[in-house]
Structure 1
Amino acid sequence: MKKICSVEIVGGFLSWGKTSFINSYLEVTRSIEEILVIIQCEKGNSKINEEFLSEDKIIIKQFKNNDEITERTLNRIINFNNPNRIIIEANGVQSVDYIIREIHKSRGRLGAVFAILDGKTVDIFIRSMGVIMLPLIHMANMIIINNCEDISYEKNRELKVLLGQLNKEAYIEQSSSSKDFYRIISSSRVINKGLYKKIIDFINRG
């Protein structure tokens, strides 16, 4: 039986902390043995940590937009690189719906969907760009409201209530800044380092 490749999505607008989240996420969840492909659909200010780029088991592929992540593209990456996981850093100005449909058609299996949101402006973006924001929020398994140190306690509470109404199943976390991602991920009840690796290993042995 062929190895199953989990395909995870990290979404959010430019400069909201997607790449910083991926760096912290890799520190917590990756195992030395696994081959991992990171697909970036936009180029922000942050970069994948150099220590990861020096490892031959972590492969970076860059595209211009979400529409390039087709069934054919995913299958080519899976066939050529034989990864255990693919992490897609989605383009923030396009809906993730297309990527999710292509994943379902490919040899990959949709894994976790993470929504990284900026606490200062996310409510404005939901109102003005709901066609892009709402699919991501609705599909997310985990929502992180970033930059909460820059907003009031009342707004923090209102955002958590709003997002909880839009997605009743997601785990919602609040971070003071991107520097807080590692603490949130490593202490999360959802993302447990040891358990996560055991699940991935079990799936890949299937």
Structure 2
Amino acid sequence: MFKRKKKEMMVYVVMGFLEAGKTSLICDLITDDMYDDVKTLILACEEGEEEYTQDILNRGKAVCEYIEDEEAFCGEVIKKFLKKHRPDRIIIEYNGMWPVAHIPKLCDELEEICFDSEVIFQTLDVANDETFLLYMKNMPSMMVEHFKMAQMVIINRCTVEKTNKTAIRGSIKAVNPAVQIVYESEDDAFYEMKEELPFDINAEVIDISNDDFGLWYIDMSEHQENYDGKTLKVTGMIQKPSGLPQGFVVFGRFAMTCCADDVQYMGFLCKADSWEEYKNKQYVTVTARLEYKYMDEYGEEGPVFYAEEIIPAEKPDEELVYFN
């Protein structure tokens, strides 16, 4: 017998701190002409400066219920709202101060509650460019948790004069390489603004300074076509773990993606005729050709340095790499 195809239940989780623009985004979502026949249940977990007016809710065929208590953010409570309103989709305005660990747990609970529907979750993080760097400085752990959970990060209120797309991308992509970043601005000229890198990717030898290692690493990970077959000069630490093919070491730097408790080594394979004269965890400056190829150590295609010159180097003044 043929099984009846399950109806899709879209669940959007919109994260972000107060005044990030979550409510404005949700109002745009519910009044979009594409969703004229869709009934939406908004679950608002905090009250910001902007409210859901009855006019907006009527136009968007939406209803709004408030969950102000963190303990009430659970399947049992939401189940009552689903029975009351019978929505076609759910949009959750998530409280930016709550742990994001509640989100995957709720996803599992909704799949059981809506057993006759295919529940599809999409997580979005909304950030205000005017306060982005301030929050990254004062609340980095919470910002990073949002980035890790998000499938899309929307940066709004961008301007040509003040928005640093390179710094923003570095902060986000360092912890979630797969996330999509969307910039929003009222200035059309902003969308024509090209992202400037602090090094010349068209140079005969691309010279990466110690301070720019993090930005280069992110750009290399995202845009391999810009570096494949190119020659680079860069300083890093070599590590000699057992089991590598002959002539290979791991070349990279220690990076802080969030705070002092979140330091990790970010490196890739580097091949030379011999590494015998260099010690494990020694800093060197390599001039090398970069190729992307499959390696068993990666389990997929990845960057491989082929060293043309190796020079002993001093430890950088700032040993940790930052991505902004």
TM range (shorter): 0.7 to 0.9
- What is the identity percentage for the equivalent residue pairs of Structure 1 and Structure 2? 24
Q: Given the superposition, is the C-alpha separation of residues 4 and 75 from structure 1 closer, same or farther in structure 2, using an over 3 Å criterion?
A: farther
- Residue of structure 2 equivalent to 1:81: 85
Q: CA deviation at 1:169?
A: 1.4
- Residue of structure 2 equivalent to 1:194: none
Q: CA deviation at 1:19?
A: 0.3
Q: CA deviation at 1:129?
A: 2.5
Residue 101 of structure 1 pairs with residue 110 of structure 2 = no
- Normalised to the residue count of structure 2, the TM-score between the two structures is 0.49
Give the letter aligned to residue 129 of structure 2: G
- Residue of structure 2 equivalent to 1:174: 183
The superposition leaves residues 148-171 of structure 1 with CA deviations (integer Å, 9 ceiling, x where unpaired) of 228625x23211232122221121
- Residue of structure 1 equivalent to 2:168: 159
Q: Given the superposition, is the C-alpha separation of residues 55 and 23 from structure 1 closer, same or farther in structure 2, using an over 3 Å criterion?
A: closer
Q: CA deviation at 1:47?
A: 1.8
- Does the residue aligned with 2:123 lie in a helix, a strand or coil? strand
The superposition leaves residues 4-61 of structure 1 with CA deviations (integer Å, 9 ceiling, x where unpaired) of 4322101100011100111112233652322210011111111225433235941110
Note if contact 1:8-1:112 (Cα within 8 Å) is conserved in structure 2: yes
Note if contact 1:97-1:135 (Cα within 8 Å) is conserved in structure 2: no
Give the letter aligned to residue 167 of structure 1: N
- Residue of structure 1 equivalent to 2:146: 136
Give the letter aligned to residue 26 of structure 1: I
What is the correspondence of 1:38-49 to structure 2 with a 5 Å cutoff?
38-49=42-53
User: Unmatched 5+ residue regions in structure 2?
Assistant: 189-324
- Residue of structure 2 equivalent to 1:114: 124
Residue 11 of structure 1 pairs with residue 21 of structure 2 = no
Which of the pair has more CA radius of gyration? 2
Give the letter aligned to residue 168 of structure 1: P
Residue 53 of structure 1 pairs with residue 53 of structure 2 = no
Note if contact 2:30-2:40 (Cα within 8 Å) is conserved in structure 1: no
Q: Distance in 2 between matches of 1:82 and 1:99?
A: 21
Give the letter aligned to residue 177 of structure 2: K
- Does the residue aligned with 2:35 lie in a helix, a strand or coil? coil
Give the letter aligned to residue 176 of structure 1: S
User: Unmatched 5+ residue regions in structure 1?
Assistant: 181-206
> Higher helix share goes to which structure?
1
The superposition leaves residues 86-127 of structure 1 with CA deviations (integer Å, 9 ceiling, x where unpaired) of 100011111222133122122253521110012232233234
Q: Distance in 2 between matches of 1:37 and 1:67?
A: 20
Q: Distance in 2 between matches of 1:128 and 1:90?
A: 20
- Does the residue aligned with 1:83 lie in a helix, a strand or coil? coil
Q: Given the superposition, is the C-alpha separation of residues 147 and 65 from structure 1 closer, same or farther in structure 2, using an over 3 Å criterion?
A: farther
- Residue of structure 2 equivalent to 1:197: none
RMSD of equivalent CA atoms: 2.7
Q: Given the superposition, is the C-alpha separation of residues 55 and 65 from structure 1 closer, same or farther in structure 2, using an over 3 Å criterion?
A: same
Note if contact 2:36-2:60 (Cα within 8 Å) is conserved in structure 1: no
